[in-house]
Structure 1
């Protein structure tokens, strides 16, 4: 059907244009397909949340001759507005045995580490509490038939010297720095997963760095061995 230009009666008529052209339909279809692909590839949590009471019950009360004597006295992550979201599960214990320096334990777990919410590394927590840290050194921990990449440093505060060993697990990776931690999250996201995150930290009050290092490494290995299967699955990839 032709359309007449009434403003210019002498002008030739032109064909009426359809409201939606074939080109618009093709563009719209391509955008819809791209949205569908993006939604299908959206990262999803790798593991389900853990009930806080169940998490507390997983923590063994005896480890290689040590027994739980307290749940306080452990340096905690800084109390910022994200802490409750960072740690769905947070457990602290102090273990002791005769003729041995007590060992402090902190376990922190969250089933979603998405690049915005990630476990605080101890190198952040201790300075907030007024501690000065030595350079972090590598500390491989042999446990459950594997070697876990871990870290060790000395934290010196106004009234205490604390030797600290820890490892973090994000998905199947054991990052030893913030850079490695962020990279682990990115790689998991590209694979379509939001990884879970676990932090295990053991420490003791002692000025003797070398002796403390060996004791903490042994305790960490014994703790993993003494943990029930459900906790081992959270500690190890």
Structure 2
């Protein structure tokens, strides 16, 4: 027998085998981690865009309300949003009946753990609103089903502001929470770093049912007015 042959009964030989196996496992883990680490930003695949140019100022029966003074804004919250998102669009639209809907779209080009969405159920209470309800909703808009959330928010028992929102991660519309994390993981396994967009509409109305119906009509008209690439960004592919 050659002197180079390992003897299983020899403690030194057993240590050598364990060390070799450990090195092999560590090398395999490192290779797997490198393989699974996302490297390609979906933002670069989607190409540059500007929310200001993407969203029309007039569509259907709606146009930007030049007289609108904006919503309730907490300066600290506004600063946080600027850190989280690369673009934020905030507008108020009015129709021929004088009905108003507030639109807010926030876009972030990197949705890894360090840069997460700031959801309305968090930012509204941070601005003094009471969250009266938070429910799931499936919206049938633009020929697709969009998983969304409906909120009822109240400020000082005077301003009643129902809210509808959803999130788009990469090219997938999600409700947020665990659905968002699963979408990020699916893209990560493909080596992709997803971008993210939060689409939110709200209106001041004590009649919650009427407010949500108005928001759906507004959103349907908006999505119908944009081209397919923009539609995929706003509502998922």
Counterpart for residue 43 of structure 1: 38
Q: Is contact 2:100-2:203 (8 Å) kept?
A: yes
Q: Is contact 1:153-1:165 (8 Å) kept?
A: yes
Structure 1: gaps spanning 5 or more residues: 1-20
The Cα shift of 1:28 comes to 6.4
Counterpart for residue 112 of structure 1: 110
Counterpart for residue 55 of structure 2: 59
The Cα shift of 1:43 comes to 0.9
Task: Give 3-state SS (helix, strand or coil) of 1:79's partner.
Answer: helix
More helix by share: 2
Task: Give 3-state SS (helix, strand or coil) of 1:174's partner.
Answer: strand
Counterpart for residue 73 of structure 1: 70
The Cα shift of 1:197 comes to 0.9
Counterpart for residue 208 of structure 2: 209
2:123 is aligned with 1:125? yes
Distance 2:209 2:88 in 1: 28
- Residues 81 and 55 (structure 1 numbering): CA distance in 2 closer, same or farther, change over 3 Å? closer
User: Deviations along 1:145-194, whole A, 9 cap, x unmatched?
Assistant: 11111111211002411111111111343332423323332333234322
The Cα shift of 1:68 comes to 0.5
Distance 1:58 1:128 in 2: 29
Question: Which structure has the greater CA radius of gyration?
Answer: 1
Distance 1:80 1:67 in 2: 25
Structure 2: gaps spanning 5 or more residues: 1-15
The Cα shift of 1:29 comes to 7.6
Where does 1:151-162 land on structure 2 (aligned, <5 Å)?
151-158=149-156, 159-162=158-161
Task: Give 3-state SS (helix, strand or coil) of 1:137's partner.
Answer: strand
- Residues 190 and 221 (structure 1 numbering): CA distance in 2 closer, same or farther, change over 3 Å? same
Aligned residues: 216
The TM-score with structure 1 as length reference comes to 0.77
- RMSD (Å) for aligned C-alpha atoms: 2.9
The Cα shift of 1:25 comes to 8.9
The TM-score with structure 2 as length reference comes to 0.77
- Residues 233 and 172 (structure 1 numbering): CA distance in 2 closer, same or farther, change over 3 Å? closer
Of the candidates 83, 88, 91, which is equivalent to residue 89 of structure 2?
91
The Cα shift of 1:138 comes to 2.5
